[in-house]
C-alpha cells in the first residue's frame, strides 16, 4: 500500500517484504542499472521504505565490493528492514527465480540444441551478445576513463589479457596497486568513478529517513562480527566437505575464487570464468560460453548468474551421476556454482553494513578501485573481441584464427544491435528479441 505524501510509512511486515522481494526476483531484467532503478522506484519513490540518501549510501558501499551490487543492495535493505533473516531472504529471492529458469533453459539448450528453431534463435542472439558486450565496454569506459592515465590503464589491461593471456585476478591486483600509487602521486587523476549522485527530489518522509537513527540491530558489535565470520567459514567448509571429489568440488573451489574477484560486475569476471571453465577444467566450450551469456541476458536476476549455465553444462558434459542422470548432474552443477558464487556477498553485507551505518558520509571509490574500474574496461573490450571472433568465424581455432566461412549476416545483426543500443537507447530485451527474430528468418531462408 502506497503511503500518503505527508505521512511516514508504517513498517512493512516480514510477509509484505517477502512478497516484494519474490516479485523482484521475477522481474529484475535489465542488468544492474535496471535492477537498481526498479528498487529505487519501488522502495524510495512509491513505498518510501528508505530515503534517497540512505538508499544511495548503501549502494555506494555495495559498489565497492566484489559481486553483483544490485543483489547486495537487496540484502542490505532487507537487513535494515528485518534484521539478518530479512537480508538473507531478500538476497536469495533475488536469485532463485533466475536459477530455476536457467536450469530449465539450459536443459532445453543441451537436449534440443540441434533443432532448427533453436539454432535459428541462437543465430540471431549470438551477434546481439557481441553488440551488448561492446556497448557495455563503451558505457563503462565513457564514465570511468576521464583522463589519459585511466585510458592507459584500460589499454594495458587489454594488452595483458589479449596478447599475454594474463589471468584476470592478476590484472585486478596490478591495477589496484598501480591505482594506489597513482592516487598518492596525482590524486586528481583518480577521483573519478564510483559514486552515485542523489537527485535531491523529495518523495515525502521515509521509514528509514536521513535523520532516522540506525535500528538497534544495525549497530556495530565486535562479537557479532566474529560470530558471523565463524558461521560463514563453517558453512563454506561444511558445503565444500559435502561435495564429492572431482567436478563438483572443483566447481566449489573455483567459484569461491571467482566470487572474490568480481570487481566491475559480470562482464569483467566472464574472462576469468572462461579461463577456468573452458581452458582449465573443460566444463564447456567457447561457443557454449557465448550461448550461456545469451541465455543470461534473457533471464531475470544478475548477469553473473551465467555461472549457473556453466555449472549445468559442466555437470552434464562430465556426466557426474552417470549417463542416465544428466539433468540431475547439470542441476547439481548449477546449484553448486550459484551457491559458492553468491555466498561471500552475504558476509560482505551482513558483516560490513553495521560499520557503514555508523556514518552517513558518502562512500566513494578510492584510488585503487578507480584503477581497477579503468582496467575492467580493457578486460570487457577483450571479451567483446573474443565473442566476435567466435561468432563471425565459427570454425576458427587458435592455430587457424580465420579458418572457415566468414558470417556477414552475423556482422550485420551485431552492427544493427549496437546502433539500436547506442544511438536509439533501446531496451536490451527488445534488441535481443529482434535479433532472435532476424536469426530465425535467416535460418529458415537458408542464408
What pLDDT sits at residue 263? Answer: 65
Which of 62-66, 293-297, 319-323 is predicted least confidently?
62-66
Which of 5-19, 31-45, 279-293, 426-440 is predicted least confidently?
31-45
Mean pLDDT of 48-74: 82
- Is there a contact between 299 and 217 (Cβ–Cβ < 8 Å)? no
Which span out of 50-64, 163-177, 244-258, 382-396 was modeled with the highest average pLDDT?
244-258
Which of 12-16, 194-198, 206-210, 368-372 is predicted least confidently?
194-198
Q: Say how many residues make up the chain.
A: 447
C-alpha to C-alpha distance for 317 and 319, rounded to whole angstroms: 5
Pick from 281, 309, 297, 289: nearest CA to 389? 289
Element at 18 (helix H, strand E): helix 14-27
Residue owning grid cell 573455483: 254
pLDDT digits (tens, 9 = 90+) for 116-134: 887 888 888 889 888 887 8
pTM reported for the whole predicted model: 0.75
C-alpha to C-alpha distance for 379 and 278, rounded to whole angstroms: 17
**Quick one: residue 194, left, alpha or beta (phi over 0 = left, psi -120 to 50 = alpha)?**
left
Alpha-carbon distances of 117 from 169, 245, 270, 434, 437, rounded to whole Å:
39, 38, 27, 15, 11
Q: Is the pLDDT of residue 84 over 90?
A: yes
C-alpha to C-alpha distance for 93 and 18, rounded to whole angstroms: 8
C-alpha to C-alpha distance for 424 and 416, rounded to whole angstroms: 11
Q: In whole numbers, what is the pLDDT of the chain averaged over residues?
A: 85
367: cell is 584510488
Q: Is the pLDDT of residue 366 over 90?
A: no
Q: Is the pLDDT of residue 261 over 50?
A: yes
What pLDDT sits at residue 342? Answer: 94
166: cell is 594474463
pLDDT digits (tens, 9 = 90+) for 183-217: 888 888 886 544 444 445 667 888 988 888 878 88
What pLDDT sits at residue 262? Answer: 67
Pick from 259, 242, 222: nearest CA to 346? 259
Q: Assign 58 to helix, strand or coil.
A: helix
Pick from 223, 240, 249, 380: nearest CA to 314? 249
In terms of Cβ atoms closer than 10 Å to its own Cβ (0-12, 13-18, 19+), residue 140 is buried
Mean pLDDT of 412-437: 90
Strand blocks (E) in 334-400: none
C-alpha to C-alpha distance for 130 and 385, rounded to whole angstroms: 8
What pLDDT sits at residue 3? Answer: 63
Mean pLDDT of 91-97: 94
302: cell is 544478475
Q: Name the β-bridge partners of 208.
A: 50
pLDDT digits (tens, 9 = 90+) for 130-144: 888 788 788 778 877
Amino acid at each position: 500500500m502506497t503511503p500518503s505524501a505527508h505521512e511516514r510509512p508504517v513498517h512493512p511486515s516480514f510477509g509484505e517484504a517477502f512478497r516484494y522481494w519474490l516479485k523482484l526476483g521475477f522481474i529484475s531484467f535489465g542488468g544492474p542499472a535496471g535492477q537498481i532503478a526498479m528498487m529505487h522506484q519501488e522502495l524510495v519513490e512509491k513505498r518510501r521504505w528508505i530515503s534517497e540518501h540512505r538508499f544511495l549510501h548503501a549502494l555506494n558501499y555495495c559498489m565497492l565490493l566484489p559481486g553483483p551490487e544490485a543483489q547486495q543492495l537487496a540484502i542490505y535493505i532487507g537487513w535494515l528492514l528485518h534484521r539478518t533473516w530479512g537480508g538473507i531472504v531478500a538476497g536469495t529471492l533475488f536469485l532463485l527465480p533466475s536459477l530455476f529458469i536457467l536450469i530449465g533453459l539450459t536443459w532445453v539448450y543441451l537436449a534440443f540444441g540441434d533443432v532448427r528453431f533453436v539454432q535459428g534463435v541462437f543465430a540471431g542472439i549470438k551477434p546481439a551478445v557481441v553488440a551488448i558486450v561492446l556497448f557495455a565496454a563503451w558505457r563503462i569506459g565513457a564514465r570511468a576513463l576521464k583522463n589519459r592515465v585511466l585510458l592507459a590503464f584500460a589499454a594495458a589491461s587489454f594488452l595483458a589479457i589479449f596478447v599475454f593471456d594474463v589471468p584476470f585476478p592478476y590484472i585486478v591486483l596490478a591495477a589496484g596497486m598501480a591505482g594506489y600509487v597513482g592516487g598518492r602521486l596525482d590524486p586528481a587523476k583518480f577521483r573519478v568513478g564510483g559514486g552515485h549522485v542523489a537527485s535531491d527530489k523529495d518523495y515525502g518522509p521515509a521509514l528509514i529517513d536521513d535523520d532516522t537513527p540506525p535500528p538497534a540491530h544495525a549497530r556495530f558489535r565486535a562479537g557479532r562480527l566474529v560470530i558471523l565470520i565463524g558461521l560463514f567459514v563453517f558453512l563454506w567448509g561444511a558445503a565444500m566437505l559435502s561435495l564429492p571429489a572431482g567436478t563438483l568440488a572443483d566447481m566449489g573451489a573455483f567459484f569461491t575464487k571467482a566470487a572474490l574477484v568480481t570487481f566491475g560486475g559480470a562482464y569483467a569476471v566472464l574472462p576469468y570464468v572462461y579461463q577456468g571453465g573452458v581452458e582449465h577444467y573443460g566444463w564447456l566450450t567457447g561457443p557454449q560460453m557465448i550461448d550461456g551469456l545469451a541465455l543470461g541476458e534473457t533471464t531475470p536476476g544478475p548477469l553473473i548468474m551465467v555461472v549457473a549455465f556453466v555449472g549445468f553444462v559442466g555437470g552434464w558434459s562430465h556426466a557426474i551421476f552417470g549417463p542416465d542422470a544428466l539433468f540431475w548432474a547439470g542441476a547439481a552443477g548449477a546449484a553448486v556454482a550459484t551457491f559458492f558464487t553468491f555466498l561471500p556477498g552475504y558476509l560482505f553485507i551482513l558483516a560490513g553494513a553495521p560499520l557503514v551505518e555508523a556514518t552517513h558520509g558518502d562512500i566513494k571509490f578510492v584510488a585503487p578501485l578507480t584503477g581497477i574500474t579503468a582496467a575492467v574496461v580493457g578486460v570487457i573490450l577483450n571479451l567483446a573481441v573474443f565473442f566476435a571472433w567466435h561468432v563471425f568465424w565459427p570454425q576458427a581455432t587458435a592455430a587457424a584464427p580465420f579458418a572457415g566461412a566468414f558470417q556477414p549476416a552475423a556482422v550485420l545483426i551485431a552492427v544493427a544491435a549496437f546502433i539500436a543500443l547506442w544511438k536509439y537507447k533501446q531496451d536490451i530485451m527488445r534488441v535481443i528479441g529482434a535479433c532472435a527474430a532476424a536469426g530465425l528468418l535467416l535460418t529458415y531462408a537458408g542464408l
